[in-house]
Structure 1
């Protein structure tokens, strides 16, 4: 593990004081995930005050503890502990550390946002950029006011590339994060009605996402997928003068064009056309949406003026991660695709299109409500109905919005409905037969992942039969 922070840097960045030299090699805010050498940040305001777990963190080998609850420390005889970095406010100190880390990082920084595809594109960028130098990517979906600074302070000093994810639920959230990150390349993967209930529609979402580009330097690149003209114009208004614009899509006007896509049940491929050059893009996973995300990753390589052959070879081995299309082979030759991390209209349609590629005699989808759609909810849920009918997909679902779809399906496509995901488990297990192909997806709080876990537990083969995500 490389050194992230020492005593002098921590004190300079936070204004706090330590009583001993330290060598921080990782960052943790959860004592259960802490590794030896980590800085444990005792944040307050969550389910529990993290100060309660300071002693556990020390026992687990924490390099030091950043804390701000002086009363707690005094009452528990920790105030004078040599590994306590006492600060006025942990969140403020975290933000200061993030600024310090960014100012001192000399590598290339890329920031990724979008209604869908952020995390997948980020993970593809890790594959694509790693052959050219040490690459850091933010963990999981650390993309908010806490996740972004936590990612920044974890960037190794010797990294060549750092890729950070930027998320939002409401207006005004992107720009502060972009200012903190100061990317050289800003990326927008998609604009659609995810979080439309909070934002009011795609136009408002586009305006918010595009603020990522305001912070780009004159030598930077604003990279985005090709959108309808009205969206492209909104985005263009936020791009500073002299910043390079790089678009990706199927139309001739794009800098990188996606052509001749071939989609099978197991793989995806296409040609990428760029400045009179043609590159073959191949993925060991199905789905047109994955090709689009991969094309953005390759476009980023080109925007960095790197020759793309190494990236094209590396990205071929990409496998979808946990909750984002991870594939599980179960007993009775049953295949389960886990898409339960979250759900928006665009991501559900993309997942269904991938399900349609499968040649199984019975294709089944387990869906939970798509949340945060506001006034668009009924319309967007109803838009799934003709897709299910046309492809003869059997539906198991939970949630009030999905119930309306279920009731309109032909009886032979009505697998089962329940108010909650837990209540779906037993009827789904009874329904399954040899060779079935299942897709599970829903907004995170619908907890469709509980169905996935139950099926994995009850129909699991040996460990080697489950396709594991690659980090």
Structure 2
């Protein structure tokens, strides 16, 4: 069996990891992971043939030469390797989690810090038990600060990710109605996210907290955290901010008790105000001046269909369909309700992973939508469709049916909110808007 130290020596000479034979680069190390419907040990030889220097496998029958490295369990070996690599990095690592805004916050923090430091930030949404190890193993020796996003849909997952990423600093953006099925309700969400606070308490790390958020304040007090850096809208915070405008882009006035500063961003959605404030607070903590912080925020361009304002030939679309849960859906509806437009339309797709609360949460969102003063609401998905007799709106069970409708009933000169869970694949509707 290959030990973690032996794997690490190979990694130092071949510092690129792959878990997918479709993305093999010359000299990489391939980890043959297993899933419910696949066993990548069967692809190990293919990875070697494509140029991988080594293939890490956990079934002896696939070891046919010295280029196959046998371990007890490939996933554990990957995680242990990442943890070992992290121990060699003498840099601040900011662990970031939350129910909503994780990826946007991560991108904003990185955009700010990159104005002064050589940074690394989680690529895309590689934030789970596989993505976090891959992220850690991508941190080079020249990196000065890393921002690691940590996602979870059940208890003990954040705890595991902390043992891999070993954050020296941490932030929970918020806690909301997300992954209720896996966490067992809202209190379960709070308990799961608070695993980051527990780790920071144990390791004497620093924690950035939105003082306006009563849930986070309660959770931090319960964890017994001591190294706290606060941001919010009231006096007494390290960073105090005010939302000056959010129609359609966010403008923030903020102060660090010394300098009053204003920054205009390319982000839409007033719910992103707290994410912006968090990135300001973290930049300030790492000794950045207001000009550097504001430059990072002003130059950041949202992408990946998160709070992204897109101009089509016919409409302005708020592309926020990367994912959705009741908390983020409600915030998106609140946002479009206060934006200025001649005609406003919401196209809402089902929200997943809500378990026993699914029917009730979809009903609450439908109620909010019809009270939002919108000119039209289109609901898509099986959970929303069962409400078709109870609420005004146009209902479809599938995106394909909605596309047929949009092709025949053109939407023009409108501000359109397009939001739903990732599995709804609402991006398919964008061409018809």
TM-score for the superposition, normalised by structure 1: 0.82
- Give the aligned partner of residue 323 of structure 2: 342
Query: For the residues of structure 2 that align with 1:313 and 1:110, how far apart are their CA atoms?
Result: 21
In structure 2, which of residues 24, 49, 54 is the aligned counterpart of residue 64 of structure 1?
A: 54
In structure 2, which of residues 246, 265, 271 is the aligned counterpart of residue 283 of structure 1?
A: 265
DSSP-derived class of the 2:408 partner: helix
Query: For the residues of structure 2 that align with 1:72 and 1:218, how far apart are their CA atoms?
Result: 41
Query: For the residues of structure 1 that align with 2:7 and 2:166, how far apart are their CA atoms?
Result: 25
In structure 1, which of residues 300, 304, 307 is the aligned counterpart of residue 289 of structure 2?
A: 307
- Give the aligned partner of residue 206 of structure 2: 221
Shift of 1:360: 4.0
- Give the aligned partner of residue 104 of structure 1: 88
Greater shift, 351-360 or 95-104, is seen at 351-360
Query: Contact conserved, 2:346 with 2:374, CA < 8 A, in 1?
Result: no
Structure 1 residues 24 and 393, CA gap change in structure 2 (3 angstroms): farther
Shift of 1:391: 2.1
- Give the aligned partner of residue 5 of structure 1: none
Shift of 1:434: 3.0
1:377-425 C-alpha deviation (Å, 9 max, x unpaired): 3443333323443322422222343235544444xxx2x3222223222
In structure 2, which of residues 234, 238, 245 is the aligned counterpart of residue 262 of structure 1?
A: 245
Describe how 1:317-466 pairs up with structure 2 within 5 A.
317-331=299-313, 333-356=314-337, 358-384=339-365, 385-410=367-392, 414=393, 416-445=394-423, 447=424, 449=425, 451-456=426-431
Shift of 1:130: 1.0
> For structure 2, which runs of at least 5 residues remain unmatched after alignment?
none
In structure 1, which of residues 242, 249, 254 is the aligned counterpart of residue 232 of structure 2?
A: 249
Query: Contact conserved, 1:328 with 1:336, CA < 8 A, in 2?
Result: yes
RMSD over equivalenced CA pairs, Å: 2.8
Query: For the residues of structure 2 that align with 1:401 and 1:239, how far apart are their CA atoms?
Result: 41
Count of equivalent residues: 431
In structure 2, which of residues 177, 180, 187 is the aligned counterpart of residue 193 of structure 1?
A: 177
Query: Contact conserved, 2:399 with 2:428, CA < 8 A, in 1?
Result: no
Describe how 1:82-231 pairs up with structure 2 within 5 A.
83-216=67-200, 220-229=205-214, 231=216
Query: For the residues of structure 2 that align with 1:129 and 1:260, how far apart are their CA atoms?
Result: 22
DSSP-derived class of the 1:131 partner: coil
Query: For the residues of structure 1 that align with 2:180 and 2:75, how far apart are their CA atoms?
Result: 29
Query: Contact conserved, 1:429 with 1:455, CA < 8 A, in 2?
Result: no
> For structure 1, which runs of at least 5 residues remain unmatched after alignment?
1-10, 74-78, 460-471
Query: For the residues of structure 2 that align with 1:37 and 1:327, how far apart are their CA atoms?
Result: 40
Structure 1 residues 156 and 455, CA gap change in structure 2 (3 angstroms): same
Shift of 1:120: 0.9
Query: Contact conserved, 1:396 with 1:428, CA < 8 A, in 2?
Result: no
1:293 equivalenced with 2:293 (yes/no): no
TM-score for the superposition, normalised by structure 2: 0.89
1:272-312 C-alpha deviation (Å, 9 max, x unpaired): 22234323232112211222212111111222233342122
Structure 1 residues 298 and 21, CA gap change in structure 2 (3 angstroms): closer
Greater shift, 374-383 or 435-444, is seen at 374-383
Query: For the residues of structure 1 that align with 2:203 and 2:71, how far apart are their CA atoms?
Result: 37
Query: For the residues of structure 1 that align with 2:325 and 2:345, how far apart are their CA atoms?
Result: 19
Structure 1 residues 262 and 336, CA gap change in structure 2 (3 angstroms): closer
